[in-house]
Structures are given as structure tokens and as C-alpha cells.
Amino acid sequence: MRRRGGPGRRGDGRIHPGCPAASEQYERKPAIVFPSSDEHTAIGGPMACDHRPLPRRTRFLTASAAVLAAGSLSLAPAEASAAARPRGHDVSSHQGSVGWPTARANGARFTYVKATEATSYTNSYFTRQFNGARSAGMLHGAYHFALPDRSSGKSQAAYFVRHGGRWRADGWTLPPALDIERDPYSTRTCYGLSRSGMVSWIRSFSDEVNRRTGRRPVIYTSTRWWNTCTGGSRAFAAQHPLWVARYAASAGALPAGWAYWTFWQYADGGSLPGDQDLFNGSMTQLRRLARG
């Protein structure tokens, strides 16, 4: 995910030396989401690096409507019509103090909030953002930005759950999510791990989250990254909802193993704070996912 809070920007506003410069990170983004563009890992910076925003480029106000009208190439069973899919967004420390009632009034029905990264970073806005979304009447969930070269999947999962990644069977809390994408701090797309090593890391993370929360995590990724860095592993599709990243008019081809997406991050800006997302179903189905 792009423009995310993390060690990319410290409290003093300095940019982490491993993150791309703001100009480099943004110059590869398409000025307009449509028509179809390459998947997000090829065109923009990672969600870990939290740069100060550049002046927002002009966007068509009809972009969200175009996405809602566009059909996905892989659809969930018994899903709602495209126009009825619940809209949501995901935020981090980059968004700071979010106006949640306004987001709700603009159509947001769910949100994911960045909680942690590796085993050394926590989002200082997490509690306010997470609780604020719930107070506004939105379903909410937490996500972790993985850095598989820093520590084990088990240790990062434990850190995540201790710092906001817990799940509650309250009907409002979405399953914890794992954000796994290209390395934002080096040129190593796959963090220096082999394909089998990456699969083992993800399995270790998932097992620990499941042990501590009773839920398997949602997996956020892009098709290109997944097929490159896991070798197209099909080991997770049966138990892990897919949150696919692709900034285009459709979700496109999905990572190996998944027949349909559960969440789709389709743009890095719009009428809601942060990245723009859709749920592939109805509100009833989204609430069912939250209930477990």
C-alpha cells in the first residue's frame, strides 16, 4: 500500500534512508487511475514509507463511480451487484487525525488501520483511528506491514497482536490483515528470501495470528509480487481472504490459488482518506466476515 505510516518517517519528520525519495515514489504513479494500469507494485511506493504528501494531482471525480460499475474478472459466490459493494478505505499515521463522521457520510462502511511494522514500529495514531472508525459506525480492522528479512513470521505476528492486531467477536472487528509486498527499504523485491522461505514465513505469521486470535489473517498483496516471491503458492487461498492491490478499472488476474478477491484496493486517493477499497459482497456478508 502506498504512503503508509511507518519507519519511513520518524517523529522528527526525517525520511528513512531506505525509502525512496518523495519525488521518486510519486513520479511513477499514474495521474489518473483509469484506464487500466499496471498493478500497484510496479507503479508506486510501498505502504511502509510515509512521506509528506506532494500536491495531489487532478483526479476525475467519476473515478470511484467507474470502479463501482466495472465488473471483476473473478467474483465471489452470491455477491452483491458491483454498485452495491460496500466501500471502504485504509489509513495509517500518514492520515493523522481522520474525520470519521465525514468519511462515513461519504460512503465508507469499513476501514483497515495500520498497527505495526516488523517488530519495532507502531502507528502512534492507531488507537484514535481504530476507535474513531468504530464510533462513526464503521467496521474496522488492523493490518501489519511485513518485513520478512528483519525477524520471523511468528515474532512479527506476536508483536502485531500485542499492539492492536487483536480480533474481537463483537460483529465490528474485521480479521487481522497481513500486508506482504515488495521490500521498501532495498531493491530486493522478495527481501532476499527464497520462494519456499517466503511461503514458510507467511505460514509462520498466519499460524501465530491464528493461535492468538482464532482468525486466519486477510492477505494483502499484488498478483505480480505473490507469483514472483512465493512461486505462485496456492497454500493460503482456502483459509485466507484475499485483499488484492491493483489500481485499474478491474481487479484483474488474481494471485495463484484464489478464485475471487474479498477486498480490492483500487486507488491511492479519492473521496475517502487514504487508499480506496471495495468489499466483494454485500453488507450482510461483510458483517458475517467480521463475526467469524
Tally of domains within the chain: 1
pLDDT at residue 55 greater than cutoff 50: no
Domain range for 221: 87-291
> Domain holding 199: CATH number?
3.20.20.80
| 220 inside domain | yes
| 82 inside domain | no
| 187 inside domain | yes
The model's pTM: 0.80
Provide the b/e sequence for 142-166 (b: ≥16 CB within 10 Å).
bbbbbbbeebebbebbbbbbebbbb
Per the annotation, the verdict on 277 as an active-site residue is no
Q: What is the pLDDT of residue 7?
A: 55
What average pLDDT does this structure show over 160-173? 98
Q: What is the pLDDT of residue 83?
A: 72
Single-letter code of the amino acid located at 32? I
Single-letter code of the amino acid located at 13? G
Q: What is the pLDDT of residue 69?
A: 38
Please pick, among 181, 183, 268, 275, the residue that the annotation labels catalytic: 181
Query: Are 254 and 230 in contact, with CB atoms under 8 Å apart?
Result: no
Segment among 30-39, 44-53, 86-95, 190-199 with least mean pLDDT: 30-39
| 91 inside domain | yes
pLDDT at residue 89 greater than cutoff 50: yes
How far apart, in Å, are the Cα atoms of 218 and each of 15, 90, 123, 263?
A: 29, 14, 19, 9
| 66 inside domain | no
What average pLDDT does this structure show over 283-291? 98
Please pick, among 39, 90, 268, 275, the residue that the annotation labels catalytic: 90
Per the annotation, the verdict on 38 as an active-site residue is no
| 23 inside domain | no
Please pick, among 39, 50, 117, 179, the residue that the annotation labels catalytic: 179
Per the annotation, the verdict on 179 as an active-site residue is yes
Q: What is the pLDDT of residue 80?
A: 53
| 77 inside domain | no
Using H for helix, E for strand and C for coil, what is the string for the chain? CCCCCCCCECCCCCECCCCCCHHHHHHCCCCCCCCCCCCHHHHCCCCCCCCCCCCCCCCCCCHHHHHHHCCCCCCCCCCCCHHHCCEEEEECHHHCCCCHHHHHHCCEEEEEEEEEECCCEECCCHHHHHHHHHHCCCEEEEEEECCCCCCCHHHHHHHHHHCCCCCCCCCCECCCEEECCCCCCCCCCCCCCCHHHHHHHHHHHHHHHHHHHCCCCEEEECHHHHHHHCCCCCCCCCCCCEEEECCCCCCCCCCCCCCCCCEEEEECCCCCCCEEEEECCCHHHHHHHHHC
Could you give the CA distance from residue 158 to residue 129 in angstroms, rounded to a whole number? 21
Q: What is the pLDDT of residue 149?
A: 98
Q: By percentage, how much of the chain surpasses pLDDT 90?
A: 71
| 12 inside domain | no
Could you give the CA distance from residue 92 to residue 84 in angstroms, rounded to a whole number? 26
16 CB neighbour count, 10 Å cutoff:
16
Model confidence pLDDT, tens digit, residues 245-273: 999 999 999 999 999 999 999 999 999 99
Model confidence pLDDT, tens digit, residues 106-123: 999 999 999 999 999 999
